[in-house]
Structure 1
């Protein structure tokens, strides 16, 4: 079937007028509203209120409920996020019939969640029932509320403009069983006619696999990906509040960065490792295997075609497509004179302890007697890791350093002298380089720098490797 599956992120959803005008209606006749599905995230900030703040870790309803120190704190947190949702309803619909439908939907769902959480508290007052065993289910129940609210609101909002939008609610509200994800999606697809209806789909899908246990807050990308694969979409589209660009415009300057027109799934994997997901690697896997191209578009520039990501793309000539990075990493260095000839033994122990701490490995290097792992996590987790490694390797010397990683990324970076140019640019910018990683596959080159030099390193590498190349190409064309 010739249709698209399109995901809309939370920041874009908060600009609901832009979603309507730039995504749903833009340059479309009435017949062209359809043959697409919109998979929506919760409105910006709502999932933070329901779970915990992704950026600061400040507790929301879930974290407060799980903490259990104050019986009334979680109810106050639920009241707070409910008030946020009511405010969104008021701003979207004013005093219209749709406002009352939106409020009624919200009231019914919030009441159901409140009753469920109260009853669970009562049940867990008996020793035979443990709250800890139910926390993952509670997390999913709360997360689902955010997408149910935004999807229902968007259906009402689009109907006001004459679009035959329908709600595809995958949250499993009041269902008595959990089916496998594919079955959940196939049943939902069977109930819609893409030729005459525009499904607005909840990013959260209740299923037997438990998407949050694997993907946590990246679950909506998995729903989006599986829908595209199972429905045989011709293209998957992600709408974001910015272009996929040659660098972060907040660091390198909006007038300096260049939107990337074409790239491949290999590059998106490298970005995922840096915490800059165009799409979760597991979500990209299904699209890649089925040969479905992925397009990343800017919600606020509807005339721009965005970035097309395919399996087979390779830049016409070797070049650096993007300079990206990750701040606030911990370098954990393990030195042991007895490691020589037994590096694999130490690496295996290091990996075992990493898995227990649930730290994210971003990069690593080694020599005859030293292993250095660059990790994303908090200081408490890293301290626990170091203590565990010290117990495991009692004669080893362990050190930690706060660092940042800056990467040059491209689909083909097989460029003679690229490393020398990069180090030269960093040297001219007075950025001390702590470590360098360059792989044989020539898709990424990494530089470890002290955290204070992160922005300076990004700007220096972008100026040298991306802008200089773009200017050279422009002169050649002229």
Structure 2
């Protein structure tokens, strides 16, 4: 959204006559860095307004954080509109919302000064209130910005600002759509939707994809399109090289689930579920290459011939290994206890291995939570040895990887690149093959597997065609 000119020129206006702007809905996220300022930095964990409010004993810290993010949002208004009437409208909208949030947080502090009211019980509501501000700001600005170019854009504000009740998500969306004429209006929709289900408590920052998905399902969309700043490619271009990676033309929802598990979401699995069930194709496009068709994701796609479509991975995982000779014949009991502790610690399970007396779970999360997990497991199983290792997971992924000798080729490629393999897993469904390596070998593993499994295959196909 920070590249608002590209959004306007490459998504809304691109090669369209005025009548062609419509029969679409534009679901937007906040401008870059704004949600980090309102909540906390997703990458570093640095506190924003929410984190500061939750932890501070007085009001000065969170008020300063709110002032900082408000100043940044006003700066965006200035950059987008300069000295125009739209700038005044954008500033007025921003000031009203920020003032409302400030008053709400002050009053809540006062109420919670009484023992019968606990701030902790309201923190999730506060988090949603603050997150919604980012989407409301960007959606309102985009409406004004598109109107300057002759587009009849309208704001579809789903944030629940000053509403009395929370409706079920689908009902809230249907009510909002009743007020829009898609034949002559382009709704710009806030990615956050205030609803009975509590999107943020379920999906955290992935809520906008859920709003996007349900709108597509409820309107019977011909196609759902996600615009990103890069192509869905055969590997991370920063690792494998921009000239070496290949944009993925087609794949299926099964593959996107595997990518999501690796933290590389094309779309949240729960958001993809509705699209898949309604057989709505999803397209992932590069905002900066509007003439490129992007990646088309469908339910039934299978590559014409078995191949590896991409190599992806996840760094900074912890391998938590539980060894206990008493486990033999009771693996399911140990696994159930292990999973219970993972859920209690709010750690994300990425992969797992097991044999007769050992369970190894590969989890993502901070080191403090992992230490608590180890202590809890040691407490539940007195005779067990529990160890942890810092590792990375590298996966070969494809809609059909039933290729004889693929595992042997992969291991040989890693061995040639001097990458020690700590563990390996190949599923019967032939959509993913996983390699566990020490964290320091992650980049080498991605590059070597991409060279062997993707580039070599692409060159072979090119030679065959030639």
TM-score when normalising by structure 2: 1.00
- Segments of 4+ moved more than 3 angstroms: none
Residue number in structure 1 paired with 2:354: 366
Structure 2: distance between partners of 1:27 and 1:418: 44
Structure 2: distance between partners of 1:429 and 1:476: 28
Deviation digits for residues 339-397 of structure 1, max 9, x if unmatched?
11111111111011111001000000011110000000000010000000000001100
Residue number in structure 1 paired with 2:433: 445
Q: Any unmatched runs of 5+ in structure 1?
A: 1-12
Structure 2: distance between partners of 1:290 and 1:213: 25
Greater relative contact order (Cα < 8 A, sep 6+): 1
Question: Aligned residue pairs: how many?
Answer: 466
Residue number in structure 1 paired with 2:455: 467
RMSD, aligned α-carbons: 0.5
Residue number in structure 1 paired with 2:387: 399
Residue number in structure 2 paired with 1:216: 204
Residue number in structure 2 paired with 1:258: 246
Deviation digits for residues 248-293 of structure 1, max 9, x if unmatched?
0011001100000000000000000000000000000000000000
Match of 1:77 among 47, 65, 89: 65
Residue number in structure 2 paired with 1:310: 298
Residue number in structure 2 paired with 1:425: 413
Match of 1:339 among 302, 327, 345: 327
Deviation digits for residues 136-186 of structure 1, max 9, x if unmatched?
000000000000000000000000000000000000000011111011000
Residue number in structure 1 paired with 2:268: 280
Deviation digits for residues 17-51 of structure 1, max 9, x if unmatched?
00000001001011100010000000000000000
Structure 2: distance between partners of 1:276 and 1:446: 15
Match of 1:178 among 135, 160, 166: 166
Structure 1: distance between partners of 2:177 and 2:234: 37
1:185 partner SS: helix
Structure 2: distance between partners of 1:459 and 1:371: 29
Structure 2: distance between partners of 1:364 and 1:225: 30
Q: Any unmatched runs of 5+ in structure 2?
A: none
Deviation digits for residues 1-28 of structure 1, max 9, x if unmatched?
xxxxxxxxxxxx1000000000010010
Residue number in structure 1 paired with 2:258: 270
Residue number in structure 2 paired with 1:301: 289
2:227 partner SS: strand
The reply on whether 1:19 has 2:11 as its aligned counterpart is no
Structure 2: distance between partners of 1:251 and 1:50: 32
1:36 partner SS: coil
Structure 2: distance between partners of 1:56 and 1:446: 27
The reply on whether 1:144 has 2:132 as its aligned counterpart is yes
Residue number in structure 2 paired with 1:128: 116
Please report how far the alpha carbon of residue 70 of structure 1 lies from its aligned counterpart in structure 2 after TM superposition: 3.8
Structure 1: distance between partners of 2:70 and 2:59: 18
Deviation digits for residues 385-437 of structure 1, max 9, x if unmatched?
00000000011000000000000000000000000000000000000000001
Structure 1: distance between partners of 2:14 and 2:340: 52
Structure 1: distance between partners of 2:149 and 2:337: 60
Match of 1:153 among 115, 123, 141: 141
Match of 1:378 among 337, 354, 366: 366
Match of 1:165 among 147, 153, 173: 153
